Amino acid sequence: MTPLALAREAACLSEEMVKLAHAQAWETLAETERRRAAVLARLSLDGLSDSATPEFVDLLKQIQRCDSDVRSHVEPWMASVKTLLAGLQSSTKPK
């Protein structure tokens, strides 16, 4: 795959991650994130034509915006889980 095709695929997966975060589909979100990480691991600038560079940059910016959106949904959930786990841990300690 070309760098541009990989960036497009990663952007599509990022958009899917946003939808999953909004739906609080955490397990599917994690799986989609793993798939996107595999795509991004294959990404290289080798073979990126000058004419494709502007779209490539736009796609990377889109991915960053998606990541920010996902974080805005995941971080509050993670904080509530952390609080829940801390409560469980303190309630199971011997007295």
**Angle at which helices 53-92 and 3-22 cross, to 10°:** 40
Residue 95 has pLDDT above 70, yes or no: no
Distance of CA 63 to the CA centre of its chain: 8
Domain boundaries along the sequence of the chain? 3-92
**Rounded Cα gap, residues 38 and 14, in angstroms:** 13
- Of 83 and 3, which is predicted with more confidence? 3
The two structure tokens encoding residue 48: 């990126």
Which residue type, as a one-letter code, is found at position 87? G
The two structure tokens encoding residue 22: 């909004």
| pLDDT per residue as tens digits for the range 1-12 | 999 999 999 999
The architecture that CATH gives domain 3-92 is Up-down Bundle (1.20)
Cβ neighbors of 77 (< 8 A, separation 6 or more) are 24, 26
CB neighbours (10 Å) of residue 31?
12
Q: Where are the alpha helices (DSSP H) in 1-95?
A: 3-22, 26-41, 53-92
| pLDDT per residue as tens digits for the range 20-40 | 999 999 999 999 999 999 999
With cut-offs at 50, 70 and 90, classify the pLDDT of residue 93. Answer: low
Tell me, what's the pLDDT at 94?
Answer: 65
